[in-house]
Amino acid sequence: MQFPHIPQQTQLPLFEAFLAQPMAPILKDVVAREWHAEPEVFSELSLRGAAGNCLNLLAPILRELSEDQDARWLTLIAPPASLTQTWLRDAGLNRERILLLQPRGTQSAQQLACEALRLGRSHTVVTWLNPLNSSSRQQLISAARTGDAQSLNIRLG
């Protein structure tokens, strides 16, 4: 028994199929989107895993921030005990541009961070607030805008 041979349409590989589509509608959508007038002043980074591994991932970020061309400080608010002066040095951070601050008395780390952000003497204020509710996040954003600074919250877990 013989089956009749029906010629099938050839299928374009995925990449070629994408290129075969007109790009104008896609580009038009991108151009039509509005850009944010104000830059984002709050960022959050969540690192999970062994403490040593998390610190190894965090080191290049803090190193880059400590070398920022802005003449203001990189301020670390109530960092975890593992972020010692020795760790900062071994990670290659510019310790002459870093302030390590701990809350005193009844002051919380959140309050100290907001104060540091509002004063504007730091280009970036790094916190380790966990959990961080929406009200606390809004306070950090407002304080960062007032002081023309960046707020970075790091959640280690």
* Greater pLDDT, 6 or 88: 88
Percent of the chain with pLDDT over 90: 66
For every residue of 52-75, DSSP letters joined together read HHHHHHHHHHHHHHHT-SSSSEEE
Q: What angle do CA 18, 22, 27 make, to 5 degrees?
A: 100
Q: Is the peptide bond before 13 cis (omega within 30 degrees of 0)?
A: no
- Residues 6 or more apart whose CB falls under 8 angstroms from that of 132 comprise 44, 153, 155
Residues 7-56: pLDDT tens digits? 555 555 655 555 555 555 555 555 555 555 667 999 999 999 998 899 99
Collapsing DSSP to helix, strand or coil, 12 comes out as coil
Query: Which pairs with CB-CB distance under 8 Å and at least 24 residues apart come from 65-68?
Result: 65/123, 65/124, 65/126, 65/152, 66/93, 66/94, 66/95, 66/97, 66/98, 67/94, 67/97, 68/97, 68/123, 68/124
Residues 96-106: pLDDT tens digits? 999 999 999 99
* Greater pLDDT, 33 or 74: 74
